[in-house]
Structure 1
C-alpha cells in the first residue's frame, strides 16, 4: 500500500495542494486518486499564478477566449480557473459520492483583496459558487474577523466553505464558532444541514519559520523550542476541536445530521532543510482531519514517509512547549497576527502577478487569434 494511502487508515484524508490543467487532462489526477488514495484538492492564487503564468498549458484556451472577444485579464483568469475547478470537481465526484459527501472536494478562493471585506467576500463567494455549479466545491474564505462574519452567512446559505489562513488557536475557535452559528441559523430557518461541509485550514510550517528566527535571536533556554512550536500549536488546536466536538451545542447539531468542520493542515511542506522533509505530515496524522500536501512533499512521503497516528501523541509535551513560549515571552501571538497579513499580501501579490502574466499572454496570442 502507498504510504500516502496508508494515512487514511488513521482517519485522515489526504488532499493535494496543487492544480494545473496538464494534471487534469493527462490522467495524472485520476492516478493519484487510485494509487495514493487522494481525496480532494485545494488551490490558491499563488498556485494558479504558477500554473497559468509559468506554463503553456492554458495558451490554447486563452487564445480561444481572446478570439471570442474577451480581453479583461481578471475575466480571462476566472474563466480558466473555473474550467479547471469544474474539471477537477468532476474527477472527484465519484469520491464525493462514495464518501457520502465527506471528501471529494475542490477548493476555489474568493478574490484575495477581499480578505477584510465581509460584503465583498459574500458577493464573490455566491458568484463563484453559482459559476462553478458543482456540489463538491468549497469556497475558500480567509479566516480574518471579516471573513468569519462571511463564513457564518455562507454556511447559513448552504455553501461549503474552506476557511484559510488560520495560524492561531483563537482565530480557529472564532471560525469554528462561525460554522456552528451558521448551521444553527440555517436549521432555524428550516433549511437542511446534512450535506454542508467545511474545513478549517490551519497553517503549519510558516509558524516555525518565523518562530525559529525569534528563538535563534533569543538563544539560551529558548533554543530547546526550535522546530517544535508549529506542531505543538497544531496539536493544541486539535484538542480545541475535540473539546468542541464533545460540547452539548455541537452534539445537538450532530443529532440533526450536521457534519463536523474538520481541521485541515496547510503549509505542510518543510521549509527548513535541516528538518525531515516529511516532518509536518508525519507528526500531524489523526482522526477527522485533512492534510493538503504540495506535490514535492507528497512525492517525499510516498518515498519514505512513515504513517502513524501521531496527532494525539504528546499532547502534554505540546502544552509544555506553548507554556514555555509564554514564559519566555516569545512573540507567538504577534507572529500569528503578522502571518495572516503576510498571507493575504502573498495571495494579493500572486493574483496581481497572475493578471499581469495573463495580459502579456493575451497580447502575444491576440495576433494569432484574429480571423484570417
Structure 2
C-alpha cells in the first residue's frame, strides 16, 4: 500500500483510477495500482477510444471477432470493452470482497447516444451487466432528466449504477432521489439490498475552466471546489433523512459522491488542487494516471474539508446563480457530445479494420 494513498484512505476516501486498456491489464499495471491502494476503475468512450487508437494489443481479438462473423463495429467494440471490464472486475474482486461489497468497482458506460433515451439506456444497461456478469461492475448512466428512470430501474434490479456527467447540485439531488426510489422497489426475495451500490460522479475541473473565464482573479480555481463541497452537504442531508434511514436499517448503502474530472486544466494551478481540497468521508476521487503518479510520488499533509469554514463563493464572485446554472446545464450537453464524438471516432477506427 502506498503511504500517500493510505493517508487519503485514512480520511475515508477511496482513490479510483480513471483509465483502462488491454495493455494496462496484460502488463500488470492495474494490479500494481491496486497493490498501491487503488480500489476502483472508471472508463468512458474517450478512454476506450484512446486505448484502441494507441495500442495494438486489441488487434488479435478484433481479427478473431471479425472471423467469427461479427461485422458490426459497435458489436465488436462491446465485445472488446466487455472483456476488458470483466478482466478488471476480476482483478478488483478481492478489494470488493474485503470491503464487504462497498468498494472495488469497475464502471462501464452506456452508449452516449442513448443519454436522452430512457428505454434504450435501460436495455443496454441490462445487457452490459448480464454480459459482464461480475458483482462489482457498475453501469454508467448520464445524469440527465431522461437518465433518472434508468437509475431507478437498474437499481431496483440490483444493478450497480455510476451516475455520470453531474455538474449541478440540482441534478445530483435528482439522481440521489432516483437511487433511493430504486432501492424502495427492490424485490427483497431476489436482491440483497446490501450488495446494491451507486456512486454519483460529480465533475470538477470543467466547471472552473468555464467559470474562470468570467470571474475575477481572487475566485479563480475555487468555484468548482465550492460547488462540490455544497453537493457533499446535499449528500449528508439526503442520506440522513428518514426516507433513506428506513432503508439503511435493511442494509442499504448511501450513494457515495465520486469526484470526477480532477486533473487541473489550468497549468498555473497545483496539480493536486482537486485532490487536496476534496477530502471527506464516504467519497471517491477517480484520478487520471498523471494525478495518480503525482499522489504516489509526493509527500503531502492531507486534511478533510469538514473542519473548514465554507464561504459562499458564488455569491461573493461576479457570477449569478442563474448564469452558473446555465454553465452547468451547458457542460452536461457538451459532456454528452464529447463522449458521442469519442464513440463515433472509436467506431470509425474499428470500421477501418473490417475486411
- Shorter chain as denominator, the TM-score bin is over 0.9
Paired with 2:78 and 2:228, the residues of 1 have a C-alpha distance of: 33
Contact 2:314 2:321 in 1 (8 A): no
Structure with the greater alpha carbon radius of gyration = 1
Paired with 2:27 and 2:190, the residues of 1 have a C-alpha distance of: 44
Cα offset, 1:288, TM superposition: 0.2
- The equivalent of 2:108 in structure 1 is 108
Residue 33 of structure 1 aligns to a residue in which SS?
helix
Residue 182 of structure 1 aligns to a residue in which SS?
helix
1:237 aligns with 2:238: no
Matches within 5 A, 1:126-205: 126-186=126-186, 191-205=191-205
- The equivalent of 1:125 in structure 2 is 125
- The equivalent of 1:345 in structure 2 is 337
Residue 127 of structure 1 aligns to a residue in which SS?
helix
1:277 aligns with 2:271: yes
Cα offset, 1:322, TM superposition: 2.4
Cα offset, 1:2, TM superposition: 2.8
Cα offset, 1:324, TM superposition: 2.2
- The equivalent of 1:12 in structure 2 is 13
Paired with 1:53 and 1:256, the residues of 2 have a C-alpha distance of: 46
Cα offset, 1:78, TM superposition: 0.7
Of 320-329 and 150-159, more deviation after overlay is shown by 320-329
1:22 aligns with 2:23: yes
1:356 aligns with 2:341: no
In terms of fraction of residues, the more helix-rich structure is 1
Paired with 2:307 and 2:313, the residues of 1 have a C-alpha distance of: 14
- The equivalent of 1:289 in structure 2 is 283
Paired with 2:283 and 2:319, the residues of 1 have a C-alpha distance of: 30
Cα offset, 1:306, TM superposition: 2.0
Paired with 1:57 and 1:47, the residues of 2 have a C-alpha distance of: 15
| Structure 1 gap ranges (5+) | 216-221, 367-372
- The equivalent of 1:31 in structure 2 is 32
* Number of residue pairs aligned between Structure 1 and Structure 2: 354
Paired with 1:175 and 1:305, the residues of 2 have a C-alpha distance of: 36
Paired with 1:315 and 1:56, the residues of 2 have a C-alpha distance of: 50
If the length of structure 1 is used for normalisation, what is the TM-score? 0.92
Greater than 4 Å deviation, 4+ residue runs: 187-191, 325-330
Paired with 1:342 and 1:95, the residues of 2 have a C-alpha distance of: 34
Pair 188,2 (structure 1): closer, same or farther in 2 beyond 3 Å: closer
Contact 2:155 2:196 in 1 (8 A): yes
Residue 213 of structure 1 aligns to a residue in which SS?
coil
**Deviation digits for residues 226-283 of structure 1, max 9, x if unmatched?**
1110000000100111112221111111111001100000000111000001110111
Of 25-34 and 322-331, more deviation after overlay is shown by 322-331
Contact 1:142 1:165 in 2 (8 A): yes
Matches within 5 A, 1:196-275: 196-215=196-215, 222-275=216-269
Residue 153 of structure 2 aligns to a residue in which SS?
helix
Pair 136,287 (structure 1): closer, same or farther in 2 beyond 3 Å: same
Cα offset, 1:187, TM superposition: 5.4
Paired with 1:270 and 1:2, the residues of 2 have a C-alpha distance of: 23
RMSD between aligned residues: 1.6
Paired with 1:306 and 1:66, the residues of 2 have a C-alpha distance of: 49
Cα offset, 1:188, TM superposition: 7.8
Pair 104,232 (structure 1): closer, same or farther in 2 beyond 3 Å: same
- The equivalent of 1:302 in structure 2 is 296
- The equivalent of 1:218 in structure 2 is none
Contact 1:278 1:305 in 2 (8 A): no
If the length of structure 2 is used for normalisation, what is the TM-score? 0.96
- The equivalent of 1:63 in structure 2 is 63
1:321 aligns with 2:313: yes
Of 295-304 and 74-83, more deviation after overlay is shown by 295-304
Paired with 1:77 and 1:237, the residues of 2 have a C-alpha distance of: 35
Pair 307,356 (structure 1): closer, same or farther in 2 beyond 3 Å: farther
Paired with 1:242 and 1:197, the residues of 2 have a C-alpha distance of: 17
Cα offset, 1:211, TM superposition: 0.2
| Structure 2 gap ranges (5+) | none
